[in-house]
Amino acid sequence: MRRREILLGGLTLLAGCSILPKVQEPTTLYTLTPKTTFPPNLPSVNWQLVVELPTAAAGIDSSRIALSHDPFTLEYYAKAAWTDNAPGMVQTLLIESFERTGKIVAVGPESAGLRPDFILKTDLRAFQANYRNGDPVPTVVVRVSAKLVAMPQRRIVRAIDSDKSVKAVGSTFEDVLNAFDDALGHVLKDIVVYTLTTPVIPAATAG
C-alpha cells in the first residue's frame, strides 16, 4: 500500500471504577509518501539546504483532510486525519524526497542545526479534494509556491510554482488518498528537480 495507516482507537482501562468514560469513535490517521524517482541526469550539489515549514491558509493548516463542493467552502472528511498538520507533513515529505535523490550534502528542517547555503520557503496554496457538479468522484488539487533563498545574502535565486490536479479513479476513500499521493508526488518532484538544477550564485564580495 502506498501510504501508512495508524489506527487510533479509544482504549479504556478501568480498575474499580463505577463510572465509565465515553469512548470516542476511532479516527484513522493517514500519511502520504515521499518522491523516490527522479531524472537520471539530476546533478549532485555540494551545498546544504533548510526546508522551512510551509505557510498555509487556516483551512489547510490542519490535520483534517480537506474537501470542497464549491469554490467558496471547505469541509473535512469524517473520522480521518493526516498524521500531522498538512504543512508539517508536506515539509517532512519534501525533505525525505530531497534525501532520496542522494544528490545533496545535507537537507533538513530549521531545527536540524544546519548552516544552510540555501533556504527553501514554501506556501501550500491548495491541498484538497474537489467535488464538483454532483460528481461523486473528486479531483485532488495540490498547489505549492516555493522560493529558493541564497544565504547569507537572503536573495531569491529561483521561484518555483507547481500545481497538479489528479482525478481519483473511484469514489472510495482509498481512491481519494491515492489521488492525493499522485498529485503531491508530482509537486514534490517538481520542487526537488528545480531546486537541485539551480545554478550556484557566487557569494557577493566586499567592495
What pLDDT, on a 0 to 100 scale, did the predictor assign at position 67? 98
Tell me how many degrees the CA angle 155-158-159 measures, rounded to the nearest 5. 110
In a 13 Å sphere around the CA of 130, the CA atoms on its Cβ side amount to: 16
pLDDT for 116: 95
Report how far residue 94's alpha carbon sits from residue 78's, in angstroms, rounded to the nearest whole number.
27
List the chain pLDDT tens, one digit each, 207 residues: 444 443 333 333 333 434 444 556 789 999 999 999 999 999 999 999 999 999 999 999 999 999 999 999 999 999 999 999 999 999 999 999 999 999 999 999 999 889 999 999 999 999 999 999 999 999 999 999 999 999 999 999 999 999 999 999 999 999 999 999 999 999 999 999 999 998 765 554 333
State which amino acid sits at residue 152: P
Q: What is the pLDDT of residue 23?
A: 52
Q: First CA to last CA across the chain, in angstroms?
A: 57
Q: Give the model's pLDDT for residue 24.
A: 63
CA dist 48 and 11 (Å) reads 44
The domains found in the chain, sorted by start residue, are 45-196 (3.40.50.10610)
Q: For 116, left (φ over 0), alpha (ψ -120 to 50), or beta?
A: beta
Helical (H) or strand (E) element with 139: strand 139-150
Q: What is the C-alpha separation between 99 and 201, in angstroms, rounded? A: 22
Grid coordinates belonging to 156: 531569491
Rg from Cα positions in the chain: 20
Pairwise CA distance, residues 68 & 85, whole Å: 18
